[in-house]
Structure 1
């Protein structure tokens, strides 16, 4: 099963984060590091170990070579693990060897990227492992500029990607339906205007279900449905149009996930994966 409604973000390249690295450097080093530059000589060298301090899933290492290049650091990166690797307390991720001044200047930026993306990957991993028969989907609730990185982190952790942006897939909500006049009209207008693009239709009650099924979107999203209404809706959709995918969202609690896990191949979208993120505890120990 493809873990995504459109093409999932299975990898990232420098073009996806180069601008973010540039902004981070401008933000953190507008006129150098006055502490480091005052106390250390440019010819002092070190070895720094990137170390996990808690369990989780690693993500974001691709940023490191870009950061080294952008700073012009005289540093060599020796990578031990790859993105997606499980981490436990004490796991060595890799080492940096070279200029102590350069390592100190890039330390916080390096950790911000890797701790943040590893935190997202860890979030996704926990939910995906506990509910393996559900498609655990991310949302567009991401920090501006970090969308592709955040979705890559979700995928790395075992979650799935919803649409990357508004251009990839249509999603019809109540305002769109009101403008078109009906559910069927809204779906048809968008389909005619965007042949080949997937269409997701959000409904918020069983009263809309018959027309939703008749309009034949690619995905029907059951928003804030009760457990009993969810069960009825899933049964009717699978019975009348089994090719339509089903997604649930709104107030998704652990109990709701347990309830949904009895169904096969149901999508569950969770903004929590990316908008409520604890940095994973990873340190750079300088020797």
Structure 2
């Protein structure tokens, strides 16, 4: 099963987060660290262990070398695990060595990135493992600037990527259809002006299904359908238009996922994966 509607975010590079790292340093250290600069000498050194305090999926380690470089501190990073590694309480992720002052100043920023992205990866992993025959998709409900990182974390956890941005593929909703005059007109206009781009069409009732099938979108989104209407729509689509991919969204609960899991390969988009995230409990313990 391809885990993405377009090209999924299977990796990230420094270009994807260096501006966020720089912003984080400027935000947290506008004039140094009063506590650390007062209590410790720049000559002091230490070793610090990055340690998991609960079960989850690791994500975001490539941020650490960038943070060290931009903080201009004499610290080295020794990585033990890779992104995607399963974590349990007490798992050692890696080790920082060098300037005590430097490590203390970057501690919170480092943990914010790793805890946040690992939290997203863990969210996605829990749902994807429980419902392996569904395509668990993210959405564009991400923090500004963190889009690519958040979608990478979803993919790392075993989830799938919906469109990465508005330029990636077309998605026609009720306002677009109203302006175009009809479902078929909206799809036709987008297809003519954007050959080669995928088109997803959202409908909110069975009354739109016939027009939706005739318009031949690549993906049909059943938004806030009841279980009964979802089942009817899926059976009709599999019979009349098996080439159209099916996606469900809107108020998706565990019970709804259990119901949908009987339909092989259905996509389910869940803003929950990225907008309701608990930081994974990871600490940086100085020896």
TM range (shorter): over 0.9
| Residue of structure 2 equivalent to 1:223 | 223
| Residue of structure 2 equivalent to 1:53 | 53
TM-score normalised by L of structure 1: 1.00
TM-score normalised by L of structure 2: 1.00
- Aligned to 2:225, the other structure's residue is in SS state coil
CA–CA distance in structure 2, aligned partners of residues 41 and 174 of structure 1: 62
CA–CA distance in structure 2, aligned partners of residues 73 and 273 of structure 1: 35
CA–CA distance in structure 2, aligned partners of residues 264 and 69 of structure 1: 46
- Aligned to 1:229, the other structure's residue is in SS state helix
Q: How far off its partner does 1:34 sit?
A: 1.1
After superposition, the C-alpha distances for 1:4-60 in whole angstroms (9 at most, x for unaligned) are: 000000000000000000000000000111110111011111000000000000000
RMSD (Å), alpha carbons: 0.4
Please give the residue correspondences for 1:126-205 in structure 2 after superposition, counting only pairs within 5 Å. Answer: 126-205=126-205
- Aligned to 1:207, the other structure's residue is in SS state helix
CA–CA distance in structure 2, aligned partners of residues 223 and 111 of structure 1: 37
4+ residue runs over 2 A deviation: none
Please give the residue correspondences for 1:79-118 in structure 2 after superposition, counting only pairs within 5 Å. Answer: 79-118=79-118
- Between the two proteins, the alignment pairs up a number of residues equal to 287
| Residue of structure 2 equivalent to 1:237 | 237
CA–CA distance in structure 1, aligned partners of residues 273 and 73 of structure 2: 34
- Aligned to 2:105, the other structure's residue is in SS state helix
- Aligned to 1:191, the other structure's residue is in SS state helix
After superposition, the C-alpha distances for 1:260-286 in whole angstroms (9 at most, x for unaligned) are: 000001000000000000000000000
CA–CA distance in structure 2, aligned partners of residues 228 and 34 of structure 1: 61
Q: How far off its partner does 1:2 sit?
A: 1.3
Please give the residue correspondences for 1:203-214 in structure 2 after superposition, counting only pairs within 5 Å. Answer: 203-214=203-214
CA–CA distance in structure 2, aligned partners of residues 98 and 23 of structure 1: 23
Q: How far off its partner does 1:211 sit?
A: 0.5
Please give the residue correspondences for 1:71-82 in structure 2 after superposition, counting only pairs within 5 Å. Answer: 71-82=71-82
Q: How far off its partner does 1:93 sit?
A: 0.1
| Residue of structure 1 equivalent to 2:266 | 266
CA–CA distance in structure 2, aligned partners of residues 187 and 237 of structure 1: 18
Q: How far off its partner does 1:73 sit?
A: 1.3
Q: How far off its partner does 1:135 sit?
A: 0.1
CA–CA distance in structure 2, aligned partners of residues 251 and 97 of structure 1: 47
CA–CA distance in structure 1, aligned partners of residues 225 and 51 of structure 2: 43
After superposition, the C-alpha distances for 1:33-90 in whole angstroms (9 at most, x for unaligned) are: 1110111011111000000000000000000000000011101100000000000000
Note the residue ranges of structure 1 that are not aligned, 5 or more in a row: none
CA–CA distance in structure 1, aligned partners of residues 192 and 16 of structure 2: 32
Note the residue ranges of structure 2 that are not aligned, 5 or more in a row: none
Does 2:119 align with 1:119? yes
After superposition, the C-alpha distances for 1:106-162 in whole angstroms (9 at most, x for unaligned) are: 000000000000000000000000000000000000000000000000000000000
| Residue of structure 2 equivalent to 1:247 | 247
CA–CA distance in structure 2, aligned partners of residues 283 and 250 of structure 1: 35
CA–CA distance in structure 1, aligned partners of residues 172 and 220 of structure 2: 10
- Aligned to 1:285, the other structure's residue is in SS state strand
